[in-house]
Amino acid sequence: MNVLRRAWVICAKELRVEFRTHELTLTTGFFVLLVAGMFSFAFEPSSTEARTLVPGLLWLAFLFAASLMLQFSFLREQTDDTLSALRLAASDPFAILLGKAAANGALLFGIELVFLPVFIVFYNLPLSLLSAPLLGILLAATAGLSLVGSAFSALVARSRMRELLLPLLLLPLLSPVLIAGAEATAEMFDTGSSGGRWWGIVLAFDVTYLAAAWLLADFVVQE
């Protein structure tokens, strides 16, 4: 079996576990909904103000939600003591990491797809904002952040205060994604452009961390 096939098996297993319980998607989705609501309570933006604020809010909400959700990826293997079995079965740490990241990315992207319209409704934005470039850059950013987040989830799985530690480590690292994503979205809102050069940052982030994960997977996924 090559790496991709193994990764796919892991990914399918992760998704199966999630579809049986819906634990991660429900709680993370609820969190995004909360942020969308609480932000409105705090700032009460008019619909013109919302147009300038929502790009940032959207990305912030998704990034925070991701940093909360991703820690359970390896924590589950840790508490159930199943990581050794997983390593034996897949026999390639990079495949485990890739599979987990793919599953997490798919779940996160699903949550983003569900809650994008909620932001549009709450902040009275035109439906035309749901464009292909916006979904594309969300998908590209989600891929990168779920890869890094899954790797960090494995790193902190045995630390004390890991629930707090993961966001603290992950969010500063994601700052280029936040800047690029929010700026691209703002450009899309303002001029209807496709995000232009900000794509470069997001794709560079994906490629950099794919390479780093491939090189360091052996150290990251440890029993």
Report the distance separating Cα 139 and Cα 122, nearest Å: 22
- The residue type found at 208 is T
Which region among 27-35, 40-48, 55-63, 199-207 touches another protein (by CB under 8 A)? Answer: 199-207
Angular region, 106: left φ>0, alpha ψ -120 to 50, beta rest: alpha
Return the number of the residue (84 or 208) whose C-beta is nearest another protein: 208
Which region among 40-48, 54-62, 163-171, 185-193 touches another protein (by CB under 8 A)? Answer: 163-171
Residues sharing a CB contact under 8 Å with residue 211, sequence separation 6 or more, in sequence order: none
**72 lies in the binding site for another protein (CB under 8 A):** no
One of 159, 163, 192, 193 touching another protein (CB under 8 A): 159
**180 lies in the binding site for another protein (CB under 8 A):** yes
Q: What is the DSSP string of 37-105?
A: HHHHHHH---HHHHHHHHHHHHHHHHHHHHHHHTTHHHHHHHHHT-HHHHHHHH--HHHHHHHHHHHHH
Report the distance separating Cα 123 and Cα 200, nearest Å: 29
Which region among 98-106, 110-118, 121-129, 178-186 touches another protein (by CB under 8 A)? Answer: 178-186
**16 lies in the binding site for another protein (CB under 8 A):** no
- The first and second tokens of residue 160, run together, are 């004390």
Report the distance separating Cα 16 and Cα 171, nearest Å: 28
**222 lies in the binding site for another protein (CB under 8 A):** yes
**4 lies in the binding site for another protein (CB under 8 A):** no
One of 35, 61, 65, 155 touching another protein (CB under 8 A): 155
Q: How far is the CB of 60 from another protein (least distance, A)?
A: 15
Q: Which residues bind another protein (CB under 8 A)?
A: 148, 151-152, 155-156, 158-162, 165, 168-169, 172-173, 175-176, 179-180, 183, 197-198, 201, 204-205, 208-209, 212, 216, 219-220, 222
